[in-house]
Structure 1
Amino acid sequence: MTKTRKSGDTASRDDRLGAALRANLVRRKAQARARAHKDEQQEGDRSQDNAPESEE
């Protein structure tokens, strides 16, 4: 037997799915920003390692 959905059930399901998608997008953006920041730091470390040392 298949249960039929009422229009109210569909609306609340759509709301839940929309909220989950927004939360997922926020999480993915935060992860991307963290990865980009980490990559920038690593690039900075590499350029400092390759910089000629000053002779004093």
Structure 2
Amino acid sequence: MNEPKSPLKSATPTKEERLAAKLRENLRRRKAQARAVAGLHEPGADGPDDGALGGESPMDKPPLAKSPLES
């Protein structure tokens, strides 16, 4: 009658299981974010090109003329 209860796996995960799941979720999210950032820097990627940022880049413009004080 007073038999010890068998250690059944409960429906709620243990602390270790919860932490492991959160770590896996975080790793997936960070990998996806890194892939997205890396995709922006690759030429020919399906992201915005330099012209889509609203005009010429500063490197395309000629240098400013020196002022007479700098001579």
TM-score range, shorter chain: 0.5 to 0.7
Once the two structures are superposed, residues 24-53 of structure 1 have per-residue CA deviations (whole angstroms, 9 ceiling, x without a partner) of 11100011112xx3335xxxxxxxxxxxxx
Runs of 4+ in 1 over 6 A off after TM superposition: none
Overall identity of the aligned pairs, in %: 16
Paired residues in the alignment total 37
Higher helix share: 1
User: Relative contact order (C-alpha < 8 Å, sep 6+): which is higher?
Assistant: 2
Q: CA-atom RMSD, angstroms? A: 1.9
- Unpaired runs of at least 5, structure 2: 1-9, 51-71
Give the TM-score normalised by the residue count of structure 2. 0.44
